[in-house]
Amino acid sequence: MKLSNRFLITILCSALSSLATAGTTSPYPYQSCFEIASKMHQVPVDLLLAVASVESAMNANARSNKNAHGIMQIQWPGTARHLGVKRLSELYNPCLNIELGARYLRELLDGSNGDVERALAAYNYGPGRISRSPVLPEGARGYANKVAIQQNRIGATTRVALKSLHTGNQVRFDSRRRAQGFADSLNSRISGASFDTQAAQDGGYLVLMAIKESGLSSTDVSTLQTLGWNDLGAQ
């Protein structure tokens, strides 16, 4: 199917700055970003929140002595390069880091036939080490158990669902870097369109989608609908 030549991406990626933000109804920082990443990669949002809690205590500036960075503790350069990250600084974009962690965890879940414990062990120890071990190392089992405990705690109080992300025809990002990071992520997933950023009049940044001559494929449409587009046929 072909859509109109150009329209604004209707996806919200506003990040919460801290657990103590006054007046917020979201109990976790960057919760909107966790929700979006969850829908993009079909990983339960409470699992993503649990991994972030265990990995970094939700600290977007965390760095480990094993050279893992950001809220989801993406290892540099190995895992980061595997996920297409070219600059270390990108790992300190919280929403991009969360998307990378969700994408990596989805890959590990697929590689372990949906075995969450083994996928988490691979996230912690590295997939190569886990694939060579028929029995999970004690440390990896302990890590998976910590995540499971956190997931149960989070799931008991917060089963967040992705709400409708439409806000008319424009959505703003506070940060140009965050907008560009999301545009780059979409460019790697949607074959029938290209994404770019544009400064908004209010000082924020918009992500724009330009439909290519070939039009969106059914897979593209399905992916975009997963992200909140429910009226693509009307464009």
Active site residues: 55
- The phi, psi pair for 218, rounded to 5°, reads -65, -35
Query: Are the C-beta atoms of residues 193 and 220 closer than 8 Å to each other?
Result: yes
| β-strands 6-8, 172-173 pairing | unpaired
* Sign, CA torsion 81/85/88/91: negative
> Which segments within 76-114 are labelled E, that is strand?
none
C-alpha 75/C-alpha 126 separation (Å) is 10
- The phi, psi pair for 37, rounded to 5°, reads -60, -35
> For the packed helices 116-125 and 94-111, what is the interaxial angle rounded to 10 degrees?
120
C-alpha 28/C-alpha 227 separation (Å) is 20
CA angle 121, 74, 136 (to 5 degrees): 10
C-alpha 175/C-alpha 168 separation (Å) is 20
Q: How many CA atoms lie within 13 A of 92 on its CB side?
A: 7
